[in-house]
Structure 1
Amino acid sequence: MSDLAAFRPLVGELVVEPDGWGVVGTPTNFYATAETHTMSGELFDVPIEVRWTPTSYVFDYGDGTSETSTASGTAWRGPEESWTETTTSHTYASRDDVTASLTVVFTAEVDAGGGWFPVPGTLPVAAPSVGVKIFEVGTVLTNGDCMANPTAAGCGG
């Protein structure tokens, strides 16, 4: 595996939904964009192809917790899924600015013209870190639409 490390697999990125922020007590969605891919090159002056396959993902949520998953996670599909728990989401307990990170663990297969064969071992590759801003949200009961009547009870006017 160390001979193949020079090929350096494409790690993709860590995506945080919604758009790099979250709310205390509500799931924040994380997913990885790494995919199986093939690279061409030479090893010991022999042309080869290397197929990299992500096999696990280590999500570090930046608040002292992390999770290892065989799933890369998925994006929320529209507003009906926003703020719902996913296999790779995380719920923060306090308001903070954190830095989340992702390590993708790859396996490799090599083809030097005679077919694919597996390479023993794995290669962990870090994706770029992502800043995540966690907010606290409070609710307020109002007497009607505050935009139409800003002086109504609960509207602060």
Structure 2
Amino acid sequence: MIEAPIGYVDTDPYKYDYLPLCDIERDGLDSGCESLAVNCEPRTPGGKRGTPVQWRFAPKAIANPTWSDWQSQGGPTCLYDPDPQAVLRAIAARIANDFKQLPIQSAKVTVQPGPHTLKGMETNVFAAATEQAFDVVILGQNVHLEATPVEYTYNYGDGTSFGPTMFAGGSISEDEWGTKTRTSHIYKQTGDFRLTVTTGFRGTYSVNGGPPLPITGNGQFASPAQLVSVWRSETRQVADNCIENPTGWACPSSAGSNK
């Protein structure tokens, strides 16, 4: 019998077992295996065939339970592990690292106003991330993983950061630009800054359609850098007409139009 993976006893109410559906002969398949829909061909040249099995689960609290098939699995699956009893534990041991290698899409970062903002002004920054799902094969087993965004760390590009925080922030109307938000930032210098947000995703996984199990730790995924240009603002009383004097203060051709 295969118990729940180490470390997840308190979160998984089930215990697991598998039922071999036929015997693999040394030189091929017996008649029982040939009649099955699943084909457990060797995964590598010269390798051994897998063993067709039906995974089952039952409540841990019951000593001699009636086992139930994992119906969402859609049929038998193949075991290739030399010690089938250890397959769930082996998946549990590597799942945290495999989770971090998934092509999870990081949050999209938006700046208001942007891409230009003003020195000394509250600049609203927010992230938009989505829950994502992946289906992979680990140790010959079908594993379904789900990644949920749960925390954000903002690096504003000027040496300051905020987080980790559960707040993703959000869009505000144009007439609210310059007001403080939970994730806004004040740039104290002019210049170009590369802003990023690192999103922490919490993961769960299930093997062959079984119940979802938590993945230890969060996967951290950084967004592409968002370029923010910080300008200064000045107020002067002028009488120049930019059509008549293109080099007048604050006209496009003047020094006063620079950041």
TM bucket, shorter chain = 0.7 to 0.9
Is 1:129 equivalent to 2:252 in the alignment? no
Of the three residues 135, 139, 149, the one matched with 1:44 is: 139
Distance 2:132 2:181 in 1: 25
SS of corresponding position for 2:176: coil
TM-score under structure 2 length normalisation: 0.52
TM-score under structure 1 length normalisation: 0.83
Percentage of matched positions with identical amino acids:
24
**Which protein shows a greater Rg?**
2
| Unaligned stretches of 5+ residues in structure 2 | 1-95, 251-259
In the alignment of these two chains, the number of paired residues is: 151
- Do the aligned residues in 1 keep the contact of 2:190 with 2:231 (CA within 8 Å)? yes
Structure-2 residue corresponding to 1:11: 106
Q: Deviations over 1:47-75 (max 9, x none)?
A: 22211112211111011100012111111
Q: CA deviation at 1:142?
A: 6.5
Distance 1:8 1:107 in 2: 14
Structure-1 residue corresponding to 2:167: 71
> Which aligned segments of 4 or more residues in structure 1 are displaced greater than 6 angstroms?
none
Which has more helix, going by share of residues?
A: 2
Q: CA deviation at 1:4?
A: 2.0
Ranked by relative contact order (alpha carbons within 8 Å, sequence separation 6 or more), the top structure is 1
Structure-2 residue corresponding to 1:53: 148
Q: Deviations over 1:78-105 (max 9, x none)?
A: 2232222111110111211111111111
Which has more strand, going by share of residues?
A: 1
SS of corresponding position for 2:188: coil
- Do the aligned residues in 2 keep the contact of 1:21 with 1:28 (CA within 8 Å)? no
Is 1:114 equivalent to 2:210 in the alignment? yes
